Amino acid sequence: MRFSKFIPAVFLGVLWSIPALGADPEDADWPAYLGDKGRSLYSSLDEINRENVSQLEVAWTYETGDQAEYQANNLIVDGVLYTPSPSRKIIALDAATGKEIWIWDPAAERSGKGRARQRGLAYWQNESGGERRLFTGVGGFLFAVDPKTGETIREFGENGSINLGSGLNTPGVIFKDLLILGGVGGKGAVRAFDVRSGAQRWIFHLIPRPGEVGHDTWPEDAYKTATGVMPWCGQSLDEKRGIVYVATKTAEPDFYGGSRHGKNLFANCVLALEAATGKRLWHFQIVHHDLLDKDLPCPPVLLRVTHGGKKIDAVAQGTKHGLLFVFDRVTGEPLWPIEERPVPKSNLRGEEAWPTQPFPTKPAPLMRQRYTEGDASNISPETHQLTLDRIRASPNFGPFPAPSLNETVMFPGFDGGMEWGGGAADPDGIYYVNINEMPWLLQMVETKRADGTPLVPGERDYMIYCGACHGLDRKGNSAAEFPSLIDIQKRKTREEIETITRQGGGRMPGYATMAEAKRKAILDYVLNEKAPAESKAEGAEKTEAPGYAFGGFRRWLDDEGYPAIKPPWGTLNAVDLNTGEVKWTVTLGEYPELTARGIPPTGTENYGGPLVTAGGLLFIGATADETFRAFDKETGKILWKAKLPFGGNATPSTYRVKGTQYVVISAGGGKSGRPRGGSLVAFALPAPK
């Protein structure tokens, strides 16, 4: 077995790419989600390296039969590859050939058929290797499956499963005989279950009960009704020390916190727990009283760095707004100072936005933190003017705008910055991560007015689609040359207005795909001569509480369908966490049609993370151009690329079977408006002749 060097077991608390018990000594596994329990996405395999990666070719492919967002980071143990499909099947393949061994289908289980976005599995075996189990989540249930036969292990829980009461899209982490899980939906908690029986061994409440740390950061009885906070993105583990690290999500509702005043611990936190008991060791809240859906999007990454002249076991946490927070993983002390800086206040009734938010002084942000007029798109003169007009009408206020009835450009955007693919770390303390630089649009809408009465039909959608330019009061914006809509029926016929809304006109884009019922309701509202206060629904009653709803997730695209901002739109970055300095940044992805127009590669929106190897390589799919790439990890130079059948919106795995190193990626597309499929593609060097 070829290694560039052996990595000591104390590093990340695990051995990377070490053969499983009973395996062929020539094999090297990928036995845990994202490679190891420290979620480092590092492999010490180096058969594929800088010198020969250009020869890499497809070794085998497999079609899952699904056409959804296939985002799995695949496990490889003892020469068998286990992949979770979007329909929540588990498929076992010969890792050297792609030949199917067995399929486990939840359709016959009490959960029924599963749905999309399953990113991985958890694998457990006892010390002797005699007991082995795969764990998967389907429809709120956790199942145990025999990795040899693909049969449900019926002695686990109730006939093979336990009812979690929440969904899973990333697997838990194994500590001894415990499976430690987060989840999606429901009341926030981290839980540990016995891998044999399924019995719950401990629970940590992320919305604290009376007497628990953090209870005073919520309203007194919030724990009875509050939801959210669930750590959906996965956990990491320092196995040697017995510490599990958890990254949590936003409290709900995501965009209005009038019923949850306070900092809201342990939402948006990095949290260190004693893995055996669930006892809190330390925490750091990265966003206070989140109003912007800034879930911590990726699991904490464990790595070792040199800091202040000594070796430090560290934990690094990425964010949607492109900031990287780095802590001593034992004490929770930040490696570089973190400053509380003022952020905009809210003008929504009943809201109390937190006045400051944390910003690390190092590393520097990995993306732009504000959209200025200088960031207006330069793809064409027309797009430049359109984006300039929009940013003037809906200005950006940095990474923490206070949600408002007025539209604002949300940049950094809702999907990052960093996202669920996360970062990779090598033994030298270098952290690698891909970044989105996509603008989105943020707007709240009233579900009732200040006097408690509901909105009339069409008013809410007018606020979302039209209010930014023509004003929430319909009086327009003369400075930006957006006309008033007051009494517009005296200037244009309804037919003329309908044509403009479908086809566009002047600076207004067309809404040809808008549902006719929605378009009719908006026009009915706009053409109503009565003021909104006089247009209350007949018989409507007043209610006491102010009501707001999020106006919806809307990417801001230009009239050609590209991100409405000057490139880069996606980047790949290397950060030296020994010094806190950015080592290099390169664009990630391109649109060939723009390149053909003489525009340098722009980067694209990207989903799925990188894989770093001892061969000096960084592998990543992720992009909207259906391309899998290998970069030189020292310089960021592209050394190899290959087309995939669908977008590789998943994090790759690497392993060695029978003397050959493979790199495999799930290619399912479906992001960024791209085609969907369900292909698994493995690459290897050509066999010697």
Structure tokens at 228: 């959210």
The pTM score is 0.88
Tokens representing 346 are 């809210």
Residues 6+ apart with CB under 8 A from 463: 405, 443, 445, 446, 472, 551
Tell me what pLDDT residue 509 has.
59
User: Residue 546's pLDDT is what?
Assistant: 52
Residues with pLDDT less than 70, the chain: 1-25, 116, 450, 468, 477-481, 503-513, 529-546
Position 12 scores a pLDDT of 37
In angstroms, the CA 217 to CA 264 distance is: 5
Of 253, 216, 213, 255, whose CA–CA distance to 353 is shortest?
Answer: 255
Q: For position 21, what pLDDT does the model report?
A: 39
Identify the pLDDT of residue 529: 43
570-592: pLDDT as tens digits: 999 999 999 999 999 999 999 99
Contact, 202 vs 191, CB < 8 A?
A: yes
Give the pLDDT of residue 460. 76
Looking at 177-256, which runs of residues are DSSP E strands?
178-181, 189-194, 200-205, 235-238, 243-247
Cα 247 from Cα 254, distance rounded (Å): 16
Q: Which amino acid is at 443?
A: Q
Domains and CATH numbers, the chain: 11-369+412-438+568-684 (2.140.10.10), 448-546 (1.10.760.10)
